Structure 1
C-alpha cells in the first residue's frame, strides 16, 4: 500500500501543496524583520544545502557532463524563473497578508494550464477548464476581498 501511495503523482502533489502552505506561513513570519531579498538568499542557501545532502545521501548524484545541453538550458531557465518567483513572493509576503498573497501566487496554476495547452500541446477537458476557471476566480476573490 505504501509503495502504491508514494508511487502516485497525487501523493506527491498533495505533499507539495502542504509544504507550499507551510512555506507561505514561515515566509510571512520570516520576512517580518529582514529585507525580503536577503530572506530569499537565506532560503535559497537552505534549499541548496538540503538538496545537496539529499542527492549525495541517496546516491543519486550523476556525472554532470552526461546531462544534455537542452536539459541544462531548461533547468537554468527554470532556476532563474524560480529565483524571480521567490524574490517577488517574499516581497509580496512582506507587504501583504499571507492569506491573500498565497492565493494570488497560485494563479500560477492558471498560467501553467494555458501555457501547457498552447505551447506543450497538452489537452484539458471542459471539466478541467472549469476547475482552472474556479482556481483563477477564487484567487481573485481572495485577493480583492476586504
Structure 2
C-alpha cells in the first residue's frame, strides 16, 4: 500500500510545482508560501480530526516534539526557498534540483540513521545526480 501513496505523493508534488508556478506570477514568493502553508495546515488538521488522531497529542514525548518542530522549520525553509526559486527560474529546472533532496536524504540517512548503502542505492544516487545535472544544463 505504501507504494500507492508514494506514487500519489509524486503526482501531487508535480501538480504542486505546476500550479505554484502559475499561481506565483505577480505574487511575492513569501506571501505565496504563507498562503500555501495555511492551506496545508488546514488540510492536515482536518485529517487529524477525521481520523480521530487528536487524542495522540498528549502522548507525544519531548524528543518527538523537538524533532517534529525542527522538521517543520526545515519544511518552512525548504518551501520559502522553493517558491523563490520557482518565481525566479523555470519549473523544469527548479524541480529537478529540488529533487536532489532524494540524494541528500540518502546520505543523511546513512550518516545519522545508520541506514545501509547498497550498490543499488549508490548507483541510484549517482544516476539521480547525473540526471539532474543533465536536465539543468
TM-score bracket for this pair, using the shorter chain length: over 0.9
CA deviations 1:48-95 (Å, max 9, x no partner) are: 111111111221212523210000000000000000000000000000
Report the RMSD for the aligned CA atoms in angstroms.
1.0
Instruction: Give the alignment's TM-score, normalised by structure 2.
Output: 0.96
What secondary structure sits across from 2:26 in the alignment?
coil
Unaligned residue ranges in structure 2 (runs of 5+): none
Structure-2 residue corresponding to 1:30: 23
Residue 7 of structure 2 corresponds to residue 14 of structure 1: yes
CA deviations 1:11-64 (Å, max 9, x no partner) are: 111111111101110110111110000000000000011111111122121252
Residue 122 of structure 2 corresponds to residue 129 of structure 1: yes
Greater CA drift, 10-19 or 83-92: 10-19
Instruction: Give the alignment's TM-score, normalised by structure 1.
Output: 0.90
**4+ long deviations beyond 3 Å:** none
CA distance in 2, matches of 1:63, 1:132: 36
Unaligned residue ranges in structure 1 (runs of 5+): 1-7
Structure-2 residue corresponding to 1:52: 45
Residue 55 of structure 2 corresponds to residue 62 of structure 1: yes
